[in-house]
Amino acid sequence: MTLPLLPTSTVGSLPKPSWLSEPEKLWSPWRLEGDELREGTLDALTLAAEEQRRAGLDIISDGEQTRQHFVTTFIEYLNGVDFERRETVRIRNRYDASVPTVAGAVSLDGSVFADDAAHLRAVTDRPIKWALPGPMTMIDTLYDAHYGSREKLAWEFAGILNQEALALEAAGVDIIQFDEPAFNVFFDDVRDWGVAALERATEGLKAQTAVHICYGYGIKANNDWKLTLGSEWRQYEQTFPLLQASSLDIVSLERHNSNVPVELLGLLRGKRLMVGAIDVATDRIETPEEVASTLRGALAHVDADKLIPSTNCGMAPLSRGVAAAKMRALVAGAEIVRGEVA
Ligand SMILES: [Zn+2]
């Protein structure tokens, strides 16, 4: 994988076309079914790759067009999870959701996304990135009636994710990303087993490995939570030293319009950083100069050859037009700073 200086990327999800599912909504139900749904999701994936190419992004993602939700869709394919048996749990200590139950030993037959990844590989020559949920975030989106231990279940999921990651790598994926928003909430678990479980999920991979930790999609529960966090968000201070010492290659973090103190980026010295220069919680389009300013701030704490300009989080809940404009702003802002650094 060869990348230019300051290669641009999104975190992952993009809005879906309205013929595929209802726009600007999380967990939006599909508007197609059966073979038509399969054909539709792959068409949408092709479109998402093309929109990223037109915007000028250097690292292309699938836009998560073949999944309804970044965690739930993966879990749907697992043995041992009963989707009929639902319990209400508190997600990331923030909002209640009705979730499926782990009712027996968990396992995965084959791969969930390898065919989709091969499709993405076939429609672009640029490096491609694929996101999977992290073990801790999966646990946080389930009710466990079998293992009786978050840590035990995490190790099971880590093994399954490793199986999936190896299949994605074989399909041609260059960067495999694990989404762990739960790392911003359960700090004792992150220290005790969270990072170790993540390393287990990446075992034996030659592809670059990334972990995405954010303050969530721009939905009301997350925005309300952010208001309680005060003027300095120091959550990353607890996890970054552990990740700096880990085998993970890339850390994806939130920065623009957030109260994350920029000097916390220095705790990850030596790692590649996907720095969020696009706010996904507003429809307002960043100017290229605003993006450039966020990137310049980051460059005081990360080497230029390790900086990947990115979005704060996924853009699934936005409109397609807004998401496309934000991608163009990201690319234009990175271009300004590229000229200054080179
Ligand atoms: Zn996120």
Sorted by sequence, the CB contacts under 8 Å of residue 27 that are 6+ apart come out as: 68, 69, 72
| Digit-coded pLDDT (tens) for 76-86 | 999 999 999 99
- Reply yes or no on whether the pLDDT at 315 is more than 90: yes
Domains, the chain, in order of start with CATH, read: 34-341 (3.20.20.210)
Ligand 1 centre from 253 Cα, in Å?
A: 8
- Reply yes or no on whether the pLDDT at 342 is more than 90: no
Residue range 222-228: average pLDDT?
A: 88
Ligand 1 centre from 202 Cα, in Å?
A: 19
Q: How far apart are CA 215 and CA 281, in angstroms?
A: 10
Tell me if 158 sits within 8 A of 135, measured CB to CB: yes
Ligand 1 centre from 13 Cα, in Å?
A: 9
Residue range 223-252: average pLDDT?
A: 94
Residue range 295-300: average pLDDT?
A: 98
Ligand 1 centre from 216 Cα, in Å?
A: 5
| Digit-coded pLDDT (tens) for 6-30 | 999 999 999 999 999 998 888 889 9
Query: How many CA atoms lie within 13 Å of 251's alpha carbon, on the beta-carbon side?
Result: 27
- Average pLDDT of the chain is 96
pLDDT at residue number 221:
85
313 Rama sector, left if φ>0, alpha if ψ -120 to 50, beta otherwise: beta
pLDDT at residue number 33:
97
| Digit-coded pLDDT (tens) for 251-263 | 999 999 999 999 9
Ligand 1 centre from 173 Cα, in Å?
A: 20
Ligand 1 centre from 301 Cα, in Å?
A: 22
Q: How far apart are CA 207 and CA 211, in angstroms?
A: 13
- Reply yes or no on whether the pLDDT at 219 is more than 90: no
Ligand 1 centre from 180 Cα, in Å?
A: 8
Per-residue confidence band for 67, with pLDDT thresholds at 50, 70 and 90 = very high
Ligand 1 centre from 273 Cα, in Å?
A: 14
Q: How far apart are CA 171 and CA 173, in angstroms?
A: 6
Percentage of the chain lying above the pLDDT 70 cut: 100
| Digit-coded pLDDT (tens) for 178-200 | 999 999 999 999 999 999 999 99
Ligand 1 centre from 169 Cα, in Å?
A: 22
218 against 30, higher pLDDT? 30
- What is the H or E stretch that residue 52 is in? helix 34-55
Q: How far apart are CA 18 and CA 32, in angstroms?
A: 11
Tell me if 213 sits within 8 A of 252, measured CB to CB: yes
Ligand 1 centre from 264 Cα, in Å?
A: 18
Per-residue confidence band for 141, with pLDDT thresholds at 50, 70 and 90 = very high
Q: Which of 50-64, 73-87, 224-238 is least confident?
A: 224-238
Max Cα distance, the chain (Å):
57
Ligand 1 centre from 50 Cα, in Å?
A: 22
Ligand 1 centre from 217 Cα, in Å?
A: 6
